[in-house]
């Protein structure tokens, strides 16, 4: 030991230093990461995997059959199909049967395609495309329908509970633009602007401004649902969203206090929505709960309420009827509500009660006073302000329609309500529920 201590210090080799040192955890992790990256890089270099491990489907195209597209009219399709008529005799009737190519199918026979020709420098595919362009039948202008042609609304629908494909399709058909308002024969002058009137020929605004519903559909056995979505006109953005997103069969109710009401109403009718106008009436708790200016009041003389009614009815033109805005106390007072209902009947309007007032006298008095009235059975917003709550209410409304044949629901034009109705309406054809405008509930009673 003493001799070792007296030996001079010697320089140690780098190998002995590495072997004698204990690597730290950080150094070990670094070395491991570098080695892994190097291995991945080496694998990427030597391995041919252009799709990075994604599933790849390899297909073989049999060019003995024609390729069908839909860009030309039948004459071109028949000519192309005739050229390859000898190639389809396989012995299998199912395979040899002519395919239904549709009215505007174009048949391109690829069986003769080959390499680029040596004479003209044009491939067979390029040549065939050029020939098709030269023989393409140009689109003719759409012919005017004959005067005796049937519209989609006049197609016969089956009865007796049999499946009716046309009925299911109606729920998803495109919007139709309603008759532009005002229609002069059902429009009169009032102290605050134009007022709806019954025409000299007996036509009523409730009929002229309603969205048409085929009689065959009204008489069918399919359950029907009508929706009246209110609060339109107060928020232009939400109003536009409802007009665009909701099915055109959904009826819309406009508040009388919005700006540019006629413009918004015209846009809604142009998209196929029939319209109602909110009538603000005195609620329980008034004036702490105040619907707005010119609210119909139980304490006001009848003539004052009629003048307020004229003011509300003059805000815009083109509505088929009236629906309440609040008004539980006013609707429960027979002396207050009777003159108003009588005036609505004289002007050819229909009345829809939102069904939220258990003491309402409108249903009992309406028939006696010459006005057609219906009540909503489900409020879409009563159970909560979420799409799930609205969907649950719609399912309840659907169940009522299956039991009674017809059900009316009311709701507000809030984003969650619009979204829920939009999603729900997409599923109606498969469940054989027919979405109709609110006016159909009145026509169904008369049919």
| 92 lies in some domain | no
Quick: pLDDT tens for 22-71: 566 777 778 788 888 888 777 666 665 554 554 544 455 444 444 443 33
pLDDT at 326: 94
Quick: pLDDT tens for 296-348: 999 999 999 999 999 999 999 999 999 999 999 999 999 999 999 999 999 99
| 185 lies in some domain | yes
Strand-pair partners of 155: none
Would you call 353 helix, strand, or coil by DSSP? strand
Burial class (CB in 10 A: 0-12, 13-18, 19+), 359: exposed
Does the pLDDT at position 291 exceed 90? yes
Q: What DSSP element (H or E) covers 288?
A: none
Cα torsion angle, 300, 298, 310, 294, sign: positive
Range with lowest mean pLDDT among 44-58, 199-213, 408-422: 44-58
Quick: pLDDT tens for 267-282: 999 999 999 999 999 9
pLDDT at 30: 80
Q: β-strand 187-190 against 193-196: which pairing, if any?
A: antiparallel
| 190 lies in some domain | yes
Burial class (CB in 10 A: 0-12, 13-18, 19+), 60: exposed
* DSSP character at residue 296: B
Beta carbons of 267 and 240 less than 8 angstroms apart: yes
Does the pLDDT at position 82 exceed 50? no
Number of Cβ within a 10 Å radius of residue 116: 12
Which position has the higher pLDDT, 410 or 166?
410
Number of domains the chain is built from:
1
Sequence-ordered strand ranges (E) for 61-162: 67-69, 106-108
Would you call 252 helix, strand, or coil by DSSP? strand
Number of Cβ within a 10 Å radius of residue 50: 6
Does the pLDDT at position 426 exceed 50? yes
pLDDT at 333: 94
pLDDT at 69: 39
pLDDT at 357: 65
Confidence of residue 170 (pLDDT cuts 50, 70, 90): very low
> From CA 88, how far away is CA 140, in angstroms rounded?
32
Q: Considering the chain, what is the average pLDDT of its residues?
A: 76
| 133 lies in some domain | no
Quick: pLDDT tens for 125-159: 455 445 544 444 343 333 333 333 333 333 333 33
Does the pLDDT at position 378 exceed 90? yes
**Residue 207 belongs to domain spanning:** 164-446
For residue 415, the domain's CATH number is 3.20.20.370
> From CA 376, how far away is CA 379, in angstroms rounded?
7
Confidence of residue 362 (pLDDT cuts 50, 70, 90): confident
| 410 lies in some domain | yes
Does the pLDDT at position 172 exceed 60? no
pLDDT at 112: 43
Range with lowest mean pLDDT among 18-22, 117-121, 133-137, 425-429: 133-137
What proportion of the chain, given as a percentage, has pLDDT over 70? Answer: 63
pLDDT at 367: 83
> From CA 21, how far away is CA 16, in angstroms rounded?
8
| 435 lies in some domain | yes
| 73 lies in some domain | no
pLDDT at 443: 85
Which position has the higher pLDDT, 173 or 262?
262
Confidence of residue 91 (pLDDT cuts 50, 70, 90): very low
Question: Could you tell me which of 211, 215, 210 has the C-alpha nearest to residue 156?
Answer: 215
| 90 lies in some domain | no
Which position has the higher pLDDT, 179 or 106?
179
Does the pLDDT at position 360 exceed 70? yes
> From CA 293, how far away is CA 257, in angstroms rounded?
8
> From CA 50, how far away is CA 58, in angstroms rounded?
14
Most confident of 217-221, 230-234, 358-362: 230-234
| The token pair that represents 75 in the structure block | 């004459």
> From CA 199, how far away is CA 194, in angstroms rounded?
14
């Amino acid at each position: 030991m003493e001799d070792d201590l007296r030996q001079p210090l010697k320089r140690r080799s780098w190998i002995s230093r590495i072997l004698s040192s204990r690597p730290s955890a950080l150094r070990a992790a670094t070395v491991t990461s570098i080695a892994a990256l190097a291995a991945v890089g080496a694998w990427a270099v030597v391995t041919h995997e252009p799709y990075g491990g994604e599933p790849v489907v390899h297909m073989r195209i049999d060019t003995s059959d024609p390729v069908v597209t839909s860009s030309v009219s039948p004459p071109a399709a028949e000519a192309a199909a005739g050229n390859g008529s000898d190639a389809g005799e396989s012995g299998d009737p199912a395979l040899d049967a002519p395919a239904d190519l549709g009215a505007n199918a174009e048949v391109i026979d690829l069986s003769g395609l080959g390499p680029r020709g040596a004479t003209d420098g044009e491939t067979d595919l390029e040549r065939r495309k050029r020939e098709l362009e030269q023989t393409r039948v140009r689109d003719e202008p759409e012919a005017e329908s004959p005067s005796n042609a049937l519209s989609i609304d006049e197609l016969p629908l089956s009865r007796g509970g049999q499946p009716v494909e046309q009925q299911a399709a109606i729920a998803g058909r495109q919007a139709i633009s309603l008759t532009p308002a005002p229609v002069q024969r059902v429009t009169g002058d009032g102290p605050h602007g134009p007022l709806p009137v019954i025409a000299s020929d007996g036509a009523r605004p409730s009929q002229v401004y309603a969205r048409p519903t085929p009689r065959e559909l009204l008489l069918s056995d399919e359950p029907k649902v009508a929706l009246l979505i209110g609060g339109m006109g107060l928020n232009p953005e939400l109003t536009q969203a409802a007009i665009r997103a909701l099915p055109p069969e959904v009826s819309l109710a406009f508040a009388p206090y919005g700006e540019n009401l006629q413009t918004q109403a015209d846009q809604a009718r142009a998209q196929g929505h029939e319209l109602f106008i909110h009538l603000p009436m005195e609620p329980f708790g008034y004036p702490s709960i105040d619907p707005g200016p010119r609210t119909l009041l139980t304490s006001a003389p009848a003539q004052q309420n009629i003048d307020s009614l004229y003011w509300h009815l003059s805000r815009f033109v083109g509505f088929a009827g009236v629906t309440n805005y609040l008004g539980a106390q006013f609707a429960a007072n027979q002396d207050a509500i009777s003159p108003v209902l009588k005036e609505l009947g004289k002007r050819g309007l229909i009345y829809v009660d939102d069904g939220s007032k258990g003491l309402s006298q409108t249903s009992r008095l309406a028939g006696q006073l010459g006005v057609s009235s219906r009540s909503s059975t489900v409020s879409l917003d009563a159970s909560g302000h979420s799409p799930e709550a609205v969907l649950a209410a719609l399912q309840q409304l659907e169940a009522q329609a299956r039991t009674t044949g017809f059900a009316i629901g009311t709701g507000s034009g809030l984003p969650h309500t619009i979204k829920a109705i939009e999603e729900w309406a997409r599923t109606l054809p498969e469940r054989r529920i027919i979405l109709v405008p609110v006016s159909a509930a009145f026509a169904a009673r008369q049919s």
